[in-house]
Structure 1
């Protein structure tokens, strides 16, 4: 039986990856921050996962975790996840997204030297590292972490790889992210509990995918014969306006613009207008893994809106019934 250690297991990707690995019959240990406000709510999705407390910036604690869990594979999904808020707290962003990764890789190398265990390591990198907002604290820290993964692989022979993740969504997405903000607003307006949604730049263009598709690729990357960094995306671009229209159509509201309020202050200090996955990189991913994202964005948005409608009507914020169906 393979033992997997997932940092940030109560996040969207952590939950979906943990469930996929459990379905294979493997052992899954997942970390949560001490006194995490998410822990109680999200454990409804984590039946069968061994949940342990760990502060991401605690290097000694991570080394102790390696000794006690003895994982065959590590997925580092915990991070400071907001590009926008990284400007307000660059030190915390660097501590979580860069320094913690360097400390984890060092601990894995020490663990290998002590035990002879060839633990495989996956780092959740970001497409923002390659956009026009590479000066953001978020992108800078993520890029440094990716470079550390490459160094551990090329200089120390560690099976370490980075998945360059483009935006990916599911009904488990937190409400601080713009796509979930939109689906929640569409549900609230449809039920007469709100009148409008306030957004910034609607022409922002991204390659949005289904989170369930991308976590499947993460597992395949650590299943591969050789470690390599790969871009994980769908290859299909949409504007934020497209997302808005899909959500309001799914909620039965028709033209979304009649419910829209614009707020220029929501535009990030530095942003990438169009962030596309290079076709050659996607072809390389498909060749390496035999994988490609297959769930249309319309399906993802429909699942998210339906889950938000149920949340509002039932008063139950988290339930296994909200888990996305694979298509």
Structure 2
């Protein structure tokens, strides 16, 4: 039985990845930050729907800013695969919390790599890199595109990306970076723009919200379905040689177009409800992110199956169902 360790297991990607690995027979260990309130709603279905698999799911308290806890956990768990998904992942917030973002997202990665190296394990390591590292570089973007981050988040992730490459080359470790373009789902945090939109659509339709305030609606993003992207993460660690991959749909959509798709799904005109506020814009904007996933298509056999229109519809439907269940 393979043993995997997932940081950020309670997040969108972590919960989908945990379900995937459990379905493949893994023993799954996850890192959870200590909090006075529970934040495990995304992984609760594992215990509810598959109690047999849940017996192979183990949670551990720790933090990416605490190197000692990471050293102790790696030594205790001795994982075959490590997926580093933990991060302060909100770009706008990274401008307000730059030091914490750098410590958790950037230095946290090297703490984890050092913990693996110190334990002298033949562990395969996955680093969650991001399209935000490309920033101002014109699209399309692939594994050879120049990086130009435009936020503390993008800069911190770029440090983590290059450290992952360095440990692969310096210590002959199996380390890979998955440069994932925006990937969404009903499990996306409510402050991220796609979920903010689909949640608002559900509430406006129900009459509990009047309008939706957004920032730059002309920015272009490459939006895919998170549940499919974690399959790509797993495939990267099954590949014969460690190398980096871009995961993307290859299709760009503006925030404006995503609004139109989401609102029209329930028969509403987005222009009647969406307003603009510059407070929601970043100090430095990223105008266009559009990925070229050819390498992943060719070497991993991975390809995004869910387009943006279908993604918008399934997220709206999920938020309508969620709103209905909370009212009942």
Do they superpose with TM above 0.5? yes
- Number of the residue aligned with 1:19: 19
CA-based RMSD:
1.5
Which residue of the partner structure matches residue 230 of structure 1? 245
Determine the structure 2 residue equivalent to 1:185: 200
Q: For residues 211 and 150 of structure 2, what CA distance do their matches in structure 1 show? A: 33
Q: Which deviates more, 71-80 or 260-269?
A: 260-269
Q: In the TM superposition, what are the counterparts of 1:37-48 in structure 2 within 5 Å? A: 37-47=37-47, 48=54
C-alpha separation between the residues in 2 aligned to 1:233 and 1:286? Answer: 10
Check 1:37–1:297 CA distance in 2 against 1; reply closer, same or farther (3 A cut): farther
Give the deviation of 1:137 after TM superposition: 1.0
The answer on whether the counterparts of 2:220 and 2:252 sit within 8 Å (CA) in structure 1 is yes
Aligned to 1:123: 127
Q: Structure 1, residues 200-252: CA drift from partner, whole Å, max 9, x if none? A: 111110100000111000000011111101111110110001110111122x1
Q: How many angstroms apart in 1 are the aligned matches of 2:235 and 2:16?
A: 14
Alignment partner, residue 93 of structure 1: 101
CA distance in 1 between partners of 2:219 and 2:46 (Å) = 34
Counterpart in the other structure of 1:154: 169
CA distance in 1, matches of 2:46, 2:243: 29
Q: Is residue 2:324 matched to residue 1:313?
A: yes
Shift of 1:43: 3.7
After superposition, give the CA deviation of every residue in 1:121-144 in whole Å (9 maximum; x if it has no partner): 000001111112614211111001
Alignment of 1:118-267 (within 5 A): 118-132=122-136, 134-250=149-265, 252-267=266-281
- 1:14-52 Cα deviation digits (max 9, x unpaired): 000000111111111111101164534334134312111
User: How far apart, in 2, do the equivalents of 1:262 and 1:51 lie?
Assistant: 41
Q: In the aligned structure 2, how far is the partner of 1:3 from the partner of 1:151?
A: 25
TM-score scaled by length of structure 2: 0.91
For 1:295, the equivalent position in structure 2 comes to 306
How far, CA to CA, are the matches of 1:43 and 1:316 in structure 2? 22
1:190 and 1:253 in contact (8 A); partners too: no
Aligned pairs for 1:6-85 (under 5 A) are 6-35=6-35, 37-47=37-47, 48=54, 49-85=57-93
Q: Work out the number of aligned pairs and report it.
A: 309
TM-score (norm 1): 0.91
Tell whether the 8 Å contact from 1:174 to 1:180 is kept in structure 2 after alignment.
Answer: yes
| CA separation of 1:316 and 1:300: change in aligned 2, threshold 3 A | farther
Tell me the CA shift for residue 310 of structure 1. 1.3
* Preserved contact between residue 98 and residue 142 of structure 1 (Cα < 8 Å): yes
Q: Is the Cα–Cα contact under 8 Å of residues 64 and 111 in structure 2 kept in the other structure?
A: no
1:285 maps to what in 2?
Answer: 296
Instruction: Report what 1:104 is aligned to.
Output: 112
Is contact 1:203–1:241 with CA below 8 Å preserved after alignment?
A: yes
For residues 35-78 of structure 1, give each alpha carbon's deviation from its aligned partner in whole angstroms, at most 9, with x where no partner exists.
Answer: 16453433413431211111111111111101111110000000
Residues 316, 215 of structure 1: alpha-carbon distance in 2 compared, 3 angstrom cutoff = farther
- Show the counterpart of 2:2: 2
Alpha-carbon contact 1:10-1:38 (below 8 Å) kept: no
Aligned partner of residue 201 in structure 2, secondary structure = helix
